Amino acid sequence: MLGRLGEQLAAEHLIRRGFRIIERNYRTRWGELDIVAFDGRTLAFCEVKTRRLQDNSQSPFAALRPRKQAQVRKMAGAWLIERTKHPRADVLRFDAIGVTYDPCGRLVGIEHLEGAF
């Protein structure tokens, strides 16, 4: 549930930044691509990581290790092949969006790393 809420906030963040959400939660054999967004020039494949702060908690981006990055690239490739009517973009980009909540469930922040990997 926390992850879905984080994805919704990330999608709203992208819309505020001028993106149109093309697809959410695209399922592949390698996993799920969280958000595909387009701003007229850039097609962004966004991995959303949501965390609740605790004393020993790491950054939401700590889980974006090379294996996860390769997985997201594979999923993006599958999306591009399957969704033949996708927008034509000058730039393809892999972004990471971290959504952080405090222990009581209040939003602490949203961090957007463009071209994260």
Domain range summary for the chain, segments of one domain joined by +: 2-113
pTM, full prediction: 0.92
Helices marked H in the chain — which ranges? 2-16, 66-82
| End-to-end Cα separation, the chain, in angstroms | 26
Architecture of domain 2-113: 3-Layer(aba) Sandwich (3.40)
Pairwise CA distance, residues 108 & 113, whole Å: 17
3-48 residue pLDDT tens: 899 999 999 999 999 999 999 999 999 999 999 999 999 999 999 9
57-115 residue pLDDT tens: 778 898 899 999 999 999 999 999 999 999 999 999 999 999 999 988 899 999 999 99
